[in-house]
Amino acid sequence: MISTVNISLQYGGRELFKGADLKFTDGNCYGLIGANGAGKSTFLKILSGEIEPNKGEVIIT
């Protein structure tokens, strides 16, 4: 399971995420959609640990 708790990220003077709380549970399939430049790849980089959020944490159990 992957969870995010209060994830916030500012990138290039722009707030991409503010207080994001999510839970990805076993046995489910998830999709990530959004406009170009919305932060989809950045969010995946936060989940993988490649980028640290300004606030909050990612929990992998």
Which one-letter amino acid corresponds to residue 16? L
Residues 5 and 22: their CA atoms lie apart, in Å, by 7
Residues 7 and 36: their CA atoms lie apart, in Å, by 20
Residues 19 and 56: their CA atoms lie apart, in Å, by 8
Q: Per-domain residue ranges for the chain?
A: 2-60
pTM score: 0.86
Q: pLDDT of 3-43, one tens digit each? A: 999 999 998 888 999 999 999 999 999 999 999 988 999 99
In sequence order, the β-bridge partners of residue 48 are: none
Residues 29 and 38: their CA atoms lie apart, in Å, by 21
